[in-house]
């Protein structure tokens, strides 16, 4: 690998904006890869190095470049929960339909991990599919209930997802709904939100068109 590429990768990882600019000006490839097939932009995204990411996006860095684990810079933002990084990469036009190795969009790990600000921002600022189903058969709503801790952050996320149009009756591969999972886990407040949402959905389904 070219020395300038190595310098760019290292600078992106540690957020050295001067180093990033210098390596690019010296001819480094903005899409160069490390041993794990991670680009400089992916390294910056993983480390939440926003300044470095801004420079790399300006230089044409691809928000959809996959590494050996099927991660992309955009998908990583759902793991870190960084709203600032999300917005930097959103300006680069990521494909919101791309999925990680579990078949999930960026919204799903964010919901699981309790990243309230990220979930709120990505729902408001993009047209990401709120009911996307991953390879486990889980939506963001299911994942927030099944893998969440039932605390305030996950309550807020469930509420945000419902408000954004998530289907509260969309069950997992075993036919278990988010409401049933919430009851099993003893998440009373979340169960209450899901009960109300399910009742509203049921009412709409029973409405007779005029």
- Tens of pLDDT along the chain (210 residues) come to 799 999 999 999 999 999 999 999 999 999 999 999 999 999 999 999 999 999 999 999 999 999 999 999 999 999 999 999 999 999 999 999 999 999 999 999 999 999 999 999 999 999 999 999 999 999 999 999 999 999 999 999 999 999 999 999 999 999 999 999 999 999 999 999 999 999 988 766 554 444
**Residues 6 or more apart whose Cβ sits within 8 Å of residue 69:** 36, 101
pLDDT for 200 equals 86
CB 31, CB 66: distance < 8 Å? no
pLDDT for 189 equals 97
Q: What are phi and psi of 104, to 5 degrees?
A: -110, 150
Q: Cα 33 to chain center, whole Å? A: 22
pLDDT for 204 equals 64
First-residue to last-residue Cα distance in the chain: 68
Predicted TM-score (pTM) of this structure:
0.93
Tally Cβ neighbours within 10 Å of residue 14. Answer: 13
Burial 102-130 (b: 16+ CB within 10 A, else e): eebbbbbbbbbbbbbebbbbbbeeeebeb
Of 67, 70, 56, 53, the closest CA to residue 24 belongs to 56
Q: How far apart are CA 148 and CA 194, in angstroms?
A: 15
Q: How far apart are CA 61 and CA 30, in angstroms?
A: 6
């Amino acid at each position: 690998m070219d020395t300038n590429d190595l310098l760019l990768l290292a600078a992106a990882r540690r957020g050295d904006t001067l180093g990033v600019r210098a390596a690019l000006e010296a001819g480094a490839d903005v899409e160069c890869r490390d041993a794990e097939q991670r680009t400089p932009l992916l390294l910056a995204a993983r480390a939440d190095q926003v300044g470095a990411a801004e420079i790399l996006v300006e230089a044409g860095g691809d928000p959809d470049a996959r590494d050996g684990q099927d991660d992309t810079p955009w998908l990583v933002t759902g793991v870190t929960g960084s709203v600032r990084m999300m917005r930097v990469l959103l300006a680069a036009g990521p494909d919101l339909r791309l999925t990680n190795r579990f078949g999930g969009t960026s919204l799903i790990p964010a919901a699981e991990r309790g990243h309230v600000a990220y979930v709120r921002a990505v729902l408001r600022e993009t047209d990401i599919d709120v009911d996307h189903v991953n390879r486990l058969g889980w939506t963001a709503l299911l994942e927030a209930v099944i893998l969440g801790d039932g605390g305030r952050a996950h309550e807020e996320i469930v509420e945000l997802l419902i408000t954004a149009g998530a289907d509260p009756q969309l069950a997992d591969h075993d036919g278990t709904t988010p409401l049933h999972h919430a009851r099993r886990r003893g998440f009373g407040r979340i169960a209450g939100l899901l009960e109300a949402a399910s009742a509203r959905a049921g009412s709409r389904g029973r409405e007779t068109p005029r």
